[in-house]
Structure 1
Amino acid sequence: MLSVVMMAALAAGAQGDVWRDDMSWRGAQAHMSETKDGRFTLTGPFGKRDIAAQGMRVDTASPLFDGLFAMAQDELKQDSVTAIRDGAFDHGQPIPCTCFETGAKWPYVWTRDLSYSIDLGLWKFDPQRSRNGLSFKLSDVRDPSLPQGLYVMQDTGSGGSWPISTDRVVWFLGAQHLLDDKVFADNVYRALNDTLAQDRQYVFDADFGLYRGETSFLDWREQTYPVWTADNVVFIAQSFALSTNVLHYQALQLGAKLAQAHGDGTRAKHYQEQAAALKNAIHAHFWRKDRGMYMSYIGGDGTPYDTYDLLGTALAITSGVAEGDAARIALANYPTWPAGSPVIWPERADQPIYHNRAIWPFVSAYALRAARVVNDPARIAHELRSIMRGAAMSGANMENYELVTQATHVDEGKLSGPVVDSPRQLWSVAAYLDMVSEGVFGLTEDGRIEPKLPASLVPMLFGERESITLRTPDRTITLRRPHALHGDLLVTDTIKQRGTETLVTLKGIDVAALPVRTDAPLYAPAAPDAPSIDKDNKGWRVQADGKVVLYADGQRVGRIDSSTYIAQGAQPPCVSVTRVDEHGIESLHSPAVCGGEPVALGDSWPRSWTAPASGRYRVALRYENNHGSIQTGVTAAVKFLVAHCGNDAPQRVPIVMPHSVGEQLSTYGVITAKAGTACRFELEQGFNMSDLSHFAHYTGGKGGIEGPLNDARIGDLIITPTTGTP
């Protein structure tokens, strides 16, 4: 007896809506025709595109599916260059590099774009070009007075780059596939040890067991973070992101594997313990039980944010951080729309289309991988169709699409977008290639063949055929449909090797997948203004504009109606508020406001202070860093604040001072002190990206060609009592 899914698929086939030669979407149509010599012609809303015969071929019942695979290979050739350029490096002059450029509008190599693209399979297509690009993103230190090492570069970015953005460890996600070259492998191991050690020193928070920093890839601040971070990214530097922590987990896992291979059992054990602890911390702090999802980021004090991103969710699943029911539920609860899955949810009604209200094919490819992990045929098919549709309707593997229409541009005045949309974007090209090789034919990264093909795709891919085939230069994979179609998901029944051909006979199985979520509201409500907090004889009184949800020191207090009291206490709380709509969706937070009068210590260093009571204290600096814009640069100022309190061991906390708009407060660290103990504070030089030799080529701002720059105008040292450990 046929399953409901299979019956629906066959019914669709009978109606002809199976995307063989043609595809229809919102009144437009794309058509693919094929010639006998392996060439294709694609016509659609964009016009006409001729596609040459390629080195790899797929042979299915769908010329559309096959031709788009050829188109992706053609675009990969266009992205394969011998020189790159960017206006901010070497005055825009070409830089020799036999590598992949990022896209038609991005003719450079960026750490995250390249690394995700290689992980999505480009390492199989051109391993040497992949290694060259990754090697371009490694650097030693140009200042001989600083600790030396080989480091992965964080590209120019938010508030002056690392350590506001800390997802540079994504480099190892790509590099792990290319270790068969000894010279490259040795550099990977060295860079891994040095980069992990540096991140542990500067961005790891022992209280939370997490790494600080911005969400990976989602680096347009006000699109995904509260709008007030547009002019102040200190919150981002202090916060914790799901995706960036999962990437650190994967880097630690690789570190343990490589240390073991190098005969360093002690270091391997150290990395294994760190990875296990990080996995537990991610579950403890990012899982939101009421949503059944992992939050995209949380505040530096652990404040939960009702916001989610698809890449972080997918990486948590594919990395093994999320397992079992948590993985299955998290993906099922992540909302989707007919055109595909948004990279963030909920959307922002006041922001233009880019990361906001958008589908990014490379993220869809990771969601497809996650769906394979949890055996979710409906989600596999949904993400596959989204990747196919976008490429077919635009005649290229575009950078991104608007969420509802899957258009490359929607005119909505100041909210129009996508704001930028590049053809042949490298990770979109990689997404299509991976969707075919792994998503359909099951070719995994270690060379195994593990197809997990939704039964709903059989009419499109097989038609009346008995088999479909992927031909690469060194192997052929043939999938043979089962004699009797049943079940939701087609998996391996038998597998035979005939020379270079792998012949897989499929069988259908029923899976207990949750339905794809299509009923979510699109937007989050707007965030309220900051509350006020004052102390009187009843305690700490918080006042806000209207009905809001109150948070204090990272904990949800509950709903209030314009004002409330927080219990009397010696510790002045830091509070923020959110707004909840009729769907129960919470806005992002207002700016946080802290009660009490902090101690401000000025003048020259060292600075002295006596603890009035035993406990934990936040320490931060008033500063101004005008060395670059909020959007870019490599000159975030990074220092160590060293506290010598009595005879106790010195306490060293990293302090980050991003590019600022006027004077503001830095990130904070936490020290402990006993009542009556005199503490002496000193300031030590830290490290930033301008210290790397690579940025001697940076001509787009300070800290580049004119030399390293890691400084800010520093004012008062601010000391505030704080609550206990998380």
Structure 2
Amino acid sequence: MRKILLPLLLLGVSCGSDVVYRTASYELLRDGVTQAQYTARVLSDTEIVSDFMGAAPGADSVAEQRWRLGTDISAYPRLSGGLPVERAMYNLSLDEVNRAVEPDSTLRTGRNWSGVWTRDVSYSILLAMAHVQPEVAKKSLMRKVDPLGRIVQDTGTGGAWPVSSDRMIWAVAAYEVYKVTGDEAWLDTVWPVIRRSVEDDMRVVYDPVTQLVRGESSFLDWREQEYPRWMQPADIYASENLGTCAVHCRACEVLAEIAARRGEAELAARYARHAGLLREGINARLWIEERGYYGQFLYGRDTLLLSPRSETLGEALCILWDIAPAERAARVVEQVPSLDFGTPCFFPSIPDVPPYHNDAVWPFVQAYWTLAAARTGNEPNVLHGIGAIWRAGLLFLTNQENFVSWSGDRYGTQINSANMLWSLSGNLALTYRLLFGLDFEADGLRFAPFVPEALDAPRRLENFRYREALLDISLSGWGNRIASFRVDGVEQEPFLADTLRGRHAVEIRLASEPLPAGRINLTANRCSPRTPEADFGVDRLLWEPEQGCTYRIYRDGTPVGETSDVVFPLPDDETGSWQVTALSADGVESFASEPVASYRTTRLYEAEEYAPAAAYPYSGYSGRGFVEIARTVNRRIEIPIRIGEPGEYVLAWRYANGNGSVETHNRCALRTMRVDGAHARCVVFPQRGEGAWDEWGLTNRVRIALTPGRHVVTLEFCPWNENMHMEVNQAMVDCLVVSRAD
């Protein structure tokens, strides 16, 4: 048997050994796992014991914990054969599926997380819940449709949508339910919901310049956990994240496919074109050739630069949804960094931020990454992913929400939950989508199994229901090439049409051929340097030193110099948006500093000069007052401006929104801004703090070329500007800020 030696890791095992997979930190056995002084043992398909206590406060002694099957899982497909750990983890996950179904037949997010969350349930449906609990999945999805027939964005930064915009994963999940069930009535139900939501997002979050979408990282929605601290909600809205862009691309493809099935060819072509633009934008704007993977997000203010961190969920989705060309997909899997216990949400981590999204592995993300690795035929990464998910489940005796990336411990993260829906779905996906290779299509079920050599053992999945058919699937051999595929003893291609009825025996024999040598980018855990704080001095840019670092200076998102000093002389023409990053001795780059901008001219247009001043007793505004905008108040404001010289101008609005905290609620105000009647861009007025009406800040910036003379800037409430609250869409507007940037 082959052995693949890698830094910090030995993959594979000598013949006859009980070790399935070994890293420097743990050994996955056929019937358990060992990690330092801790052990978990599979006693049977329905019982596991573990003495893992981790770093729990006060855990002076080790007490054995136990999982026993406690619910009836006979309605689910039965797994036999394979390895004892495989069967036990499968059954534990089904046990937790039962515990995740609420009395109202919706899916609970986790033991500590009640209710249905759009992104959690949608990612879970894509992994497993579409076929494990199809009717519950439908009801859960419909719980996340608002009275206007739009997909609900979970509460998030600055008042939810559109600062957070990953709700479109709902569309992908809804279509997956259709592919599993073939329910045409369901497709008729979700079609207008998806279409209405996509149409709004095309106006509100799509950026025609970059061909990307704006909004917070999908699922990575805890501000300082993944963004530099200087970024305000308006900045996060203006950022363009890999995972969120991938979600929107696939959602548009889904809408095109549904339109085609409905015979609406013109709409199908329109949405397919939009998906193509997003795909082009991702590959043109986010790809980092020298690193061999996609960057985390574009961020900044007047201009955007690319964060060089990898972002695991986004990378995986680009592979699974064919956004990445095949050659790029293979490079991504080989180049994205992994740690001994798994592949973190992003890498490198952020200093001085405790683990949660930062410096942590999330099993559901690991599952998507493992499926992506299988798509490219990378066996080392597939084994690493299986080991990461099964190790955690065996030791914790549950599908935990997350764990610390460098210790493998569930303790030490900011928040955590057992019985986590998308974690248990990821565990089940290892059986259904990886080992047995089930891939649901609109008109049938395709098979593409991937069995690492170390997991070679005959296995069987009985009573698997696919539409009107009941399947008993036998799988033997290893690798990813099918040598034989038989249905009721008759050889055929590895595809079952949706017209199949009744009970059938499916026999799959893999060729047991070695896969091409794959690479896994294992590395030690690392933090980037701290984010510099830069400001203007006299004819220079200044910042505080970071030990052992050099510095890179950016002007309008483009690097213009490097220095080991903590000053950078500015050119005579010092206009532009300036930022500094710190680089460690081995080239790891920090986030960029908060932009400091130098403009040729800046002029304020006081809003109260063009609309009635509000009578609220707030302070901190400029001029003689401010203007309220709401659903029924000042729905349209026109401000004439005069431009002296042609050039690029940056427009932003100074505002206050005290309708909720930065962390929760759904009262982000938004409007459409037009210049001379032409649509310029959506402008967002996110929440800045509960009751914080004296806290004024700037909206997202709009950069536009203007000619000399008079122009009219309009701020208007349009139908697509309805937020998630639908009643409170309010902010106080102080002034319009117009700056010449070039």
Per the shorter chain, which TM-score range? 0.7 to 0.9
What secondary structure does 1:328 align onto? helix
Q: Over the residues paired in the alignment, what is the CA RMSD in angstroms?
A: 2.2
> What amino acid is the match of 2:450?
K
What secondary structure does 1:405 align onto? coil
What secondary structure does 2:105 align onto? strand
> What amino acid is the match of 1:574?
S
> Does residue 735 of structure 2 align to residue 716 of structure 1?
yes
Aligned to 2:482: 492
Aligned to 1:480: 476
1:106-505 equivalence runs, <5 A: 106-141=113-148, 150-179=149-178, 180-229=182-231, 232-300=232-300, 301-409=303-411, 417-446=412-441, 447-458=445-456, 462=457, 467-473=458-464, 474-481=470-477, 489-498=479-488, 500-505=504-509
How far 1:159 moved relative to its partner? 0.5
| 2: CA distance, partners of 1:715 / 1:290 | 45
| 2: CA distance, partners of 1:173 / 1:650 | 32
What secondary structure does 1:72 align onto? helix
How far 1:688 moved relative to its partner? 8.2
| 2: CA distance, partners of 1:627 / 1:583 | 45
**Identity over aligned residues, as a percent?**
25
How far 1:528 moved relative to its partner? 0.8
Compared with structure 1, are the counterparts of its residues 629 and 686 closer, same or farther at alpha carbon in structure 2 (3 Å cutoff)?
A: farther
How far 1:550 moved relative to its partner? 0.8
| 2: CA distance, partners of 1:421 / 1:472 | 34
How far 1:490 moved relative to its partner? 4.4
Tell me the alpha carbon deviations over residues 196-234 of structure 1, each in whole angstroms, 9 at most, x when there is no partner.
1101111111111111011000001101100223xx222
1:651 touches 1:671 (CA, 8 Å); kept in 2? no
Compared with structure 1, are the counterparts of its residues 408 and 243 closer, same or farther at alpha carbon in structure 2 (3 Å cutoff)?
A: same
How far 1:686 moved relative to its partner? 4.7
What secondary structure does 2:337 align onto? coil
Tell me the alpha carbon deviations over residues 495-549 of structure 1, each in whole angstroms, 9 at most, x when there is no partner.
11126221111113343344211125511111111232666xxxxx433334421
In the alignment, which of 602, 609, 622 is matched to residue 641 of structure 2?
609
2:100 touches 2:108 (CA, 8 Å); kept in 1? yes
What secondary structure does 1:257 align onto? helix
1:310 touches 1:344 (CA, 8 Å); kept in 2? yes
Compared with structure 1, are the counterparts of its residues 524 and 102 closer, same or farther at alpha carbon in structure 2 (3 Å cutoff)?
A: same
> Does residue 15 of structure 2 align to residue 20 of structure 1?
no
| 2: CA distance, partners of 1:513 / 1:660 | 52
How far 1:45 moved relative to its partner? 2.3
| 1: CA distance, partners of 2:126 / 2:384 | 21
1:21 touches 1:31 (CA, 8 Å); kept in 2? yes
In the alignment, which of 53, 65, 75 is matched to residue 96 of structure 2?
75
Aligned to 1:522: 526
Aligned to 2:616: none
| 2: CA distance, partners of 1:308 / 1:481 | 34
| 2: CA distance, partners of 1:690 / 1:19 | 54
Compared with structure 1, are the counterparts of its residues 511 and 721 closer, same or farther at alpha carbon in structure 2 (3 Å cutoff)?
A: farther
| 1: CA distance, partners of 2:221 / 2:721 | 17
- TM-score of the superposition, structure 2-length normalised? 0.84
> What amino acid is the match of 2:172?
L
Q: Which has the higher contact order (CA 8 A, sep 6+)?
A: 1
2:40 touches 2:48 (CA, 8 Å); kept in 1? no
Aligned to 2:666: 634
> Does residue 706 of structure 2 align to residue 673 of structure 1?
yes
1:60-99 equivalence runs, <5 A: 60-82=81-103, 97-99=104-106
What secondary structure does 2:737 align onto? strand
| 1: CA distance, partners of 2:48 / 2:388 | 21
Tell me the alpha carbon deviations over residues 22-48 of structure 1, each in whole angstroms, 9 at most, x when there is no partner.
3111220001112xxx64344442611
In the alignment, which of 581, 589, 592 is matched to residue 589 of structure 1?
592
| 1: CA distance, partners of 2:46 / 2:190 | 40
How far 1:80 moved relative to its partner? 0.8
Aligned to 2:651: 619
> What amino acid is the match of 1:431?
G
- TM-score of the superposition, structure 1-length normalised? 0.86
How far 1:98 moved relative to its partner? 1.7
Compared with structure 1, are the counterparts of its residues 73 and 643 closer, same or farther at alpha carbon in structure 2 (3 Å cutoff)?
A: same
Aligned to 1:412: none
What secondary structure does 2:510 align onto? strand
| 2: CA distance, partners of 1:534 / 1:13 | 72
1:572 touches 1:721 (CA, 8 Å); kept in 2? no
Compared with structure 1, are the counterparts of its residues 364 and 588 closer, same or farther at alpha carbon in structure 2 (3 Å cutoff)?
A: same
How far 1:456 moved relative to its partner? 2.6
In the alignment, which of 30, 49, 54 is matched to residue 40 of structure 2?
30
> Does residue 41 of structure 2 align to residue 51 of structure 1?
no
Aligned to 1:543: 542
Compared with structure 1, are the counterparts of its residues 381 and 391 closer, same or farther at alpha carbon in structure 2 (3 Å cutoff)?
A: same
Judge which range, 572-581 or 59-68, deviates more: 59-68
Aligned to 1:86: none
Tell me the alpha carbon deviations over residues 634-667 of structure 1, each in whole angstroms, 9 at most, x when there is no partner.
11111122322xxxx5344211111125111111
| 1: CA distance, partners of 2:454 / 2:526 | 27
Compared with structure 1, are the counterparts of its residues 651 and 173 closer, same or farther at alpha carbon in structure 2 (3 Å cutoff)?
A: closer
> What amino acid is the match of 2:279?
K
Unaligned segments of structure 2, at least 5 residues? 21-27, 54-64, 465-469, 489-502, 611-637, 690-694
| 2: CA distance, partners of 1:548 / 1:16 | 46
Judge which range, 555-564 or 447-456, deviates more: 555-564
Compared with structure 1, are the counterparts of its residues 10 and 712 closer, same or farther at alpha carbon in structure 2 (3 Å cutoff)?
A: closer
2:311 touches 2:345 (CA, 8 Å); kept in 1? yes
What secondary structure does 1:255 align onto? helix
1:525 touches 1:581 (CA, 8 Å); kept in 2? yes
How far 1:427 moved relative to its partner? 0.3
1:69 touches 1:436 (CA, 8 Å); kept in 2? yes
> What amino acid is the match of 1:453?
V
> What amino acid is the match of 1:260?
A
> What amino acid is the match of 2:727?
P
What secondary structure does 1:153 align onto? coil
Aligned to 1:11: 14
What secondary structure does 2:659 align onto? coil
How far 1:399 moved relative to its partner? 0.5
| 1: CA distance, partners of 2:15 / 2:669 | 59
What secondary structure does 1:75 align onto? helix
1:212 touches 1:240 (CA, 8 Å); kept in 2? yes
Compared with structure 1, are the counterparts of its residues 685 and 504 closer, same or farther at alpha carbon in structure 2 (3 Å cutoff)?
A: same
Aligned to 2:62: none
| 2: CA distance, partners of 1:406 / 1:521 | 12
Tell me the alpha carbon deviations over residues 444-499 of structure 1, each in whole angstroms, 9 at most, x when there is no partner.
223222111111322xxx2xxxx2212234322212227xxxxxx34311111126
Aligned residues: 651
Tell me the alpha carbon deviations over residues 668-690 of structure 1, each in whole angstroms, 9 at most, x when there is no partner.
22333212x20122321256897
Compared with structure 1, are the counterparts of its residues 346 and 16 closer, same or farther at alpha carbon in structure 2 (3 Å cutoff)?
A: closer
| 2: CA distance, partners of 1:691 / 1:336 | 38
